[in-house]
Structure 1
Amino acid sequence: MMQRVAVVGGGAAGLCAARHILSRPNSFAPPVVFELSGHIGGTWRYEERPDASGGAAHSSMYRDLRTNLPKEVMMFPDFPFERQLSSFLPHQEVQKYLESYCHSHSIWPHIRFNTEVENVKPALKTPGGGATSWEVTSCDARGRQKTETFDSVFVCSGHYSDPHVPSVPGIHNFKGAVLHSHSYRFAEPFSGRTVLVLGAKASGLDISIELAKAGAQVILSHGRPRLTFPLPPGIGQSSPLVAIEEDGSVRFQDGSLGRADVLMFCTGYNFKYPFLDADQLGLKIQDHMVSPLYRYLMPPAFPSLFFIGICKIICPFPNFNCQVQFSLAVLVGSVPLPSRAEMEDEVLQELQEKVERGVEQRHLLVLEQDQWEYCQGLAQAAGFPPLPPVVRSLYEEVWRQRQIHPENYRRLNYRLVSDTRWEVHPAE
C-alpha cells in the first residue's frame, strides 16, 4: 500500500520533500503540503510589513539581502540556477528559483495554502506493533478544521521566525528603539543614528555594513575574537553588552560605557513547534536545541516523524536534499534503523563528545565542517549520489573570502567546471 506523507511548510525544505515524494509514485501517494501563508518560499519570501491580519511576519528577509553562498553550491544538486545569473543573488532570484522548482516538479497542486497545522500527534500503533500513523489537524482560512491520518510527517517549518532575544539587565532603562533583526527591512530609517548591533555572525555583519553605508554609526558588540578584516567607516567594535544603566547608557563587558539610539539584536532564533507535544514524542525542545534526534532527523521513539533542515551553518538546499532522500529510504525500509535504545545512545554519545570539545549548548546543532561527512553518511546509507566534492571546495573558498573581505567577496562569480573543479569568472 502506498504511504501518505504530510509535509508541514512550503519553504525550500518542504518543496524538496514534496519533489522527492512525487518522484516515487510506486511507494508514496502524492504528499499534502500544509502552508500557513498564501505563497511558497518560506523565509525567502520578502514581506515589507507584518501580514495584513496583524500577525507577525514569518520571514526574516530584508530588502537588500544577497545570498552569502554562491548559487553554484546553494542549488539543489539536481536543479541548477539559470547559468547567466551572478553567483551571489538577491533574494528575489532565490524566490523565483523555488517557484520554478515547484513548477518543474508539479508540486503546486499538492500545496494547501493559508492552512495552519494545529496539531500533529501519533495515533495508536497497529496491532502487532506496526508503524505509528499520525493524526494531523489543520485549519484553513475560513476556520474549517480537518483531521487526517498520515503514515509519516515531515516537519519543514524552518527555524528563522521566532526571534531569540537574550535578557539584558536594565533593558527597561533604554530610551531608544529595541528590535530584533527579524523585524529589520532596510537601512534608511537608521541614517544619522547610533545603532548598537548585538551579534557579529552573518546577519549582524551584513546588517552593520548596510547601516554604515546608509549613514548610521554602528557599534558591533560581540564576544568573538576582534574582527581584523576591513570594515567600512562608521563601524566600531565593542565587547558584549552586559547591562543598560539607569540613565539609559550601555555598559559593556570591558567596563566601558556608551550611548545608542537603537539596540538591534542579531542573536538568532528559537526552535518552536506549537503543533507538537514534545513530551509525548520523547523530545526536549529548547530555544537552541531539539533532542534526541537520530541523525539530526527523527525522534528515536517515533522514527516516521522527520525534522528537515534543523542543523545550522550548513549548505541548506543540498543538506535538505540529502536528509529528505535518506528519510524516504527509511520509510520504504531500504535503510534499516537500530533499536530505539541504540538510536538514543548514539545521539547522546554524539552530543557528549561535542560538549567535551567545549561546544556550548546553543551550538550543538551547528554542523559547519561536520556537514560534509554527515551528508556523505546519509548518501552512503540510503544509496543515492553523494554531493560532488566541488560543493565543499567552493563553499570553503567562499568562507575564506568572506573572512578576508566581508564587503566585497560577493563581487566574484564562479563556474563549476566538473564534479571536482570550479573557476572564478570576472564580474560581468
Structure 2
Amino acid sequence: MSATGKLRVAIVGAGAAGLCVARHVSSRSTTFDPPVVYEITDHVGGTWFYEERVGIHDNGHPVHSSMYRDLRTNLPKEVMMFPDYPFDAQLPSFLSHRDILQYLQKYCKRHAITPYIKFNTVVEEVKPISMETVEGGAVTWEVISRGTYGGQNTQTFDSVFICSGHYSTPHLPSIPGIEHFKGAVMHSHSYRCREPFAHQSVVVLGAGSSGVDISFELVQANAKVTLSHNKPALAFPLPPEIQQAPPVVKVLEDGSLLFQDGSVAHAEVLLFCTGYSFHFPFLCPKQLGLGIQHHLVAPLYKYLLPPAFPSLFFVGICKIICPFIHFHYQVQFALAVLEGTVQLPSRKMMEEAAERERQMKVQKGVQEKHLLQMGSDQWEYYLDLATIAGISPPNPVVESLYEEVGRQRRMNPQAYRQINYKLVVTSQLYTKLQHPIFKGVFL
C-alpha cells in the first residue's frame, strides 16, 4: 500500500485487456493509486496493432502481433465491444484489425489512460517479496523492468495484472524428419498476405479459425491448398482448390509429406496454423504454485488467479471467448476482490474448486489441451463473476447473437461476414438481423 493508503496496481501489457484494467482502476481513485502499465512497444493495442514486419524488431524483441493484412473479425462488433463502450454504429458488424485498433485508441483517449503507460519498457521479473498467502496476509509484489532506452527500474505493488496476451509465441508441434522438407516452413504468426504464395502448393497444418481463414485467402492467390488436421472432415463447403487431409506424421527423406492415412504429398510451403504457447518469462511458476505448459496455466481459481497468490491476476487466459466482454467481467471481479467487497475462499477451497472444474471437463471428454476453451460456457462464467461482484450481467441478447453467428459461420464460412447486425432495445431486448437473406428475432 502506498503512502496515500491506497492500493498500487501494476499492469503488464497495454493491449485490450491491459487498457480495460487501467480504465477501471483509474476510475476507483478512492481505493487505488493511478495504475502503472508496462508496455514493451511504443503503442497501445497489443495484438491488434498490425505490422508488416515479422521476426525481430530493431530493439531485439520479437514482433508481437499475429495480425495479417486482410484479417476481419469472426465476431461482430455487437458481440466484441466492451459492455460500457460501444463501437461506432456506422461501422459494419465484422471489422478489420484497423477498426479494432482505432476503437482501442479511442477507448484509451476517452478514459485518459495514456499517462499511466510506460512505453518501450520490458518487464524482466514479477515476484512476491513477502511470501504470505491469503491466510497469512497481504503480499507485496516487486516488478523489475527495463526501458528500451534506459536503465533498470524496480517498483513495488499490492497487485499485478498479467495482460501480455497469448497469441504471440508460436506453438510448433514436432514433426519427425522436418529437416528434410525442401520448401518454406512458417507459422501463421508470420503470415501477412496471400500474394507471396501465388500458384504455390501449400500444406496448412490446423483447421482452427486461422487455418481455415488463411486457406480461403491463399486460394484467392491461386494457391493449391491442402488443409491437414485431426478433426472430422469439415462439414461446410470448401473451394475446390482446398483439399482436406489427415495430420502430417512425418517428412520423408525426399522432402515429401507422409499423412496419417498413408498418403504422400509434395508441397512448396508448410504453414503451421497450430496456435500459440503461454509465455511468461518474467514469472517463476513454481514460486507461484502454478504449472505453465504451452496450452495450459493451472491451477487458476475462476480462470483468473492462482490460489496461493490471489492478488495476481491473469486476464484473458481462456480461449474461444468474446475477448472484450471476458476482460470486462474478469477485471470487475478482480477489483472487487482487491477492494474487499468480494471475500475469497481459503487457498485450499480455491484449489479444490479449480480441481473440480478440471475434473468436470475431463469427465465430459475435454482433452487437456482444450481445458481453457470456453465457447458457449463463457456466458455462465460471466454471470457467475457478475453475481459475485455485484455488477450487471451480460445482456442475454449478446449470447443469442454469439450463438447465431456461430451457426452462420458453420453454414457458410466464406460469406457469414457479409451479414450486418443491429442491437435494438424496446420493451424487450432483442437482436434483429439486418440482411436481405435472413430475418430473425432473438428474445
TM-score class normalised by the smaller sequence = over 0.9
* Mapping for residues 356-371 of structure 1, pairs under 5 Å: 356-371=363-378
Q: Give the one of 28, 37, 62 matched to 1:24.
A: 28
C-alpha separation in 2, matches of 1:170 and 1:184: 23
Aligned to 1:328: 335
1:422 aligns with 2:431: yes
TM-score, normalized by length of structure 1? 0.98
Q: Output the amino acid matched with 2:304.
A: L
Q: Give the one of 102, 105, 119 matched to 1:113.
A: 119
C-alpha separation in 2, matches of 1:125 and 1:243: 48
Aligned to 2:41: 37
The CA deviation at 1:420 is 3.3
Q: Give the one of 221, 228, 232 matched to 2:235.
A: 228
99-108 or 44-53: bigger deviation: 44-53
1:146 aligns with 2:146: no
The 1:332/1:55 distance shift into structure 2, 3 A limit, reads: closer
Consecutive unaligned residues of structure 2, counting only runs of 5 or more, are 437-443
Aligned to 1:248: 255
Aligned to 1:165: 172
C-alpha separation in 1, matches of 2:59 and 2:34: 31
CA displacement 1:64-90 (0-9 Å, x = unmatched): 000000000000000000000000001
C-alpha separation in 1, matches of 2:306 and 2:234: 39
Aligned residues of 2:251 and 2:258 also touching (Cα < 8 A): yes
1:48 aligns with 2:57: no
C-alpha separation in 1, matches of 2:180 and 2:150: 42
Aligned to 2:313: 306
Consecutive unaligned residues of structure 1, counting only runs of 5 or more, are none
CA displacement 1:279-308 (0-9 Å, x = unmatched): 100000001000010000000000000000
1:224 counterpart SS class: coil
The CA deviation at 1:358 is 1.5
Q: Output the amino acid matched with 2:73.
A: T
Report how many residues are paired. Answer: 427
Aligned to 1:66: 72
Q: Output the amino acid matched with 1:96.
A: Q
Aligned residues of 1:212 and 1:233 also touching (Cα < 8 A): no
> Identity of counterpart residues, as a percentage?
60
* Mapping for residues 127-138 of structure 1, pairs under 5 Å: 129-138=136-145
Structure 1 runs of 4+ aligned residues shifted over 2 Å read: 50-56, 125-130
Q: Output the amino acid matched with 2:40.
A: L
C-alpha separation in 2, matches of 1:151 and 1:319: 23
C-alpha separation in 2, matches of 1:385 and 1:291: 28
1:88 aligns with 2:125: no
The CA deviation at 1:126 is 7.5
1:320 counterpart SS class: helix
1:421 counterpart SS class: strand
Q: Output the amino acid matched with 2:128.
A: P
Q: Output the amino acid matched with 1:158.
A: G
2:165 counterpart SS class: coil
What's the RMSD between the two structures over aligned residues?
A: 1.3
The CA deviation at 1:230 is 1.5
